Amino acid sequence: MPAKGRVTVGIIGSQFEADIHAASFQIMPDEAEVVAVASPTPGNAKKLADKYGIARVFTDYKQMLAEKDIEMVTIAAPNYLHAQMTIDIANAGKHVVCEKPLCMTLEEADLMIETCKRKGVLLMYAEELFFTPKYVKAKEMTDQGAFGKVYLVKQVEKHFGPHAPWFWDVEKSGGGVFMDMGCHGIAFCYWFLGRPKIKTVYCQMATHVHGNKTKGEDNSICILEFANGAVGLIENSWVRRGGMEDRIEVYGEGGVTYADLHMGNALPTYSEYGYGYAVEKAPTTKGWTYPVFEELWNYGFPQEMYHFARCVRGREEPQATGEDGRVVQEVLYAGYKSASTGGKVQLPFRVDGIRRPIELWLKE
């Protein structure tokens, strides 16, 4: 494998998230190049490849892993496949970028981390909020002392339901909105505060609206207590109308800041006729809308992939790792357990033998 030049990348997946990966590498093309894409449904990988000018197309990702020149593989597949794919990629001697959440179980998380370590490849955890420019600014101000000691960090992520049908199937997703988007907020608060130990997890969740489609929760509220005394408050929903909502609040003894990726960045717009694209999940482009600009950049996806490519070249240290994903996974366990018992759960928390976090909440 080449030790310099652009990192060669393969993508597993062909839908929403895979498209984001491909687009991100295209937006910041100087450190990496996507050379292959693998997706099992015939035609899907081809379609993505055509859109982004990707040369090689596979229906079996294992064949893609046999390509010698590929150095890094990104996983944009359903959650329940993450662990096996990671292990296969690592065994092929390639670096791994795994989408969130890391996997289904803590056993999987441990095995993923251990395997990548043993094979000498990087396990990078695709938490783009660590790279979201507006949130990075909030963290910079915090680290510069703007707010003194921070005692409360909030992260909110809501929309009206997931992109792909497999999210509704808890067998494949492992859980509902807390699993799907709560993982962002957990990782965010943990990172924002400087990775202090998490002491307790409380979670309130319910399936308010989408019970006909899923056993998973469609709304969740999660409270984290950290060892340094700070608190994290995370709100997620699959029942928020009007498009995507993603925002944070930071409260310190010396100040406060608010960052809103959508309504706080948008061009308030009224259109009789509609236009190309407003924002992720927007129901229409007619009437009043909140279109955003440079959406992927403002989420931080290109910067994230750029960073991962530089990690592969040894130019940067991974800032979002399998260990981060494992911390999130433990909180997901604790959160579902808490929602079940109605009490906060102390960490470390581990239950062995379950297949997916939501089992701890579902009464079956």
* C-alpha closest to that of 170 among 86, 39, 80: 80
Residue 244: exposed, middle, or buried by beta-carbon count in 10 A (0-12, 13-18, 19+)?
buried
Query: Cα–chain-centroid distance for residue 108?
Result: 17
Tell me which of 16, 171, 293, 350 binds a second copy, using CB under 8 A: 293
To a second copy, the closest distance from the beta carbon of 16 in angstroms equals: 21
CA 312 – CA 122 distance, rounded (Å): 7
Q: How many CA atoms lie within 13 A of 213 on its CB side?
A: 18
Tell me which of 285, 313, 351, 354 binds a second copy, using CB under 8 A: 285
CA 315 – CA 74 distance, rounded (Å): 19
Tell me which of 287, 315, 317, 355 binds a second copy, using CB under 8 A: 287
CA 81 – CA 98 distance, rounded (Å): 10
Whether 248 contacts 211, CB under 8 Å: no
| Alpha carbon distances (Å) from 351 to 105, 290, 332, 354 | 9, 43, 12, 7
How does 78-96 read in b/e, with b if 16+ C-beta sit within 10 Å?
A: bbbbbbebbbbbbebebbb
To a second copy, the closest distance from the beta carbon of 263 in angstroms equals: 7
Tell me which of 81, 146, 164, 351 binds a second copy, using CB under 8 A: 146
| Alpha carbon distances (Å) from 215 to 127, 322, 359 | 26, 28, 10
Nearer to a second copy, 268 or 353 (CB): 268
Per CB under 8 A, which of residues 34..63 are in contact with a second copy? none
Concatenated DSSP letters of 88-99: HHHHTT-EEEEE
Per CB under 8 A, which of residues 3..32 are in contact with a second copy? 29-30
The answer to whether 251 contacts a second copy (rule: CB under 8 A) is yes
To a second copy, the closest distance from the beta carbon of 290 in angstroms equals: 7
Per CB under 8 A, which of residues 188..217 are in contact with a second copy? 200, 202, 204, 206, 208-209
Query: Cα–chain-centroid distance for residue 163?
Result: 14
Per CB under 8 A, which of residues 211..250 are in contact with a second copy? 219, 221, 223, 225, 229, 231, 233, 235, 237, 239-242
Tell me which of 16, 269, 350, 355 binds a second copy, using CB under 8 A: 269
Per CB under 8 A, which of residues 321..360 are in contact with a second copy? 341-344
Stretch of 65-73, 76-84, 271-279, 316-324 contacting a second copy, by CB under 8 A: 271-279
Stretch of 13-21, 78-86, 106-114, 138-146 contacting a second copy, by CB under 8 A: 138-146
With contacts defined by CB under 8 A, how many residues of the chain interact with a second copy? 76
Q: Looking at residue 180, what DSSP letter applies?
A: I
Query: Cα–chain-centroid distance for residue 248?
Result: 16
| Alpha carbon distances (Å) from 61 to 81, 173, 191 | 12, 20, 32
Tell me which of 75, 97, 122, 138 binds a second copy, using CB under 8 A: 138
Nearer to a second copy, 55 or 267 (CB): 267
Whether 54 contacts 46, CB under 8 Å: no
To a second copy, the closest distance from the beta carbon of 99 in angstroms equals: 24
Stretch of 84-92, 143-151, 179-187, 352-360 contacting a second copy, by CB under 8 A: 143-151
Nearer to a second copy, 105 or 219 (CB): 219
Stretch of 78-86, 94-102, 130-138, 165-173 contacting a second copy, by CB under 8 A: 130-138
Q: Could you give the string, one character per residue 161-180, with x where binding to a second copy holds by CB under 8 A and - elsewhere?
A: --------------------
* C-alpha closest to that of 300 among 59, 28, 3: 28
Q: Looking at residue 66, what DSSP letter applies?
A: T
Nearer to a second copy, 185 or 291 (CB): 291
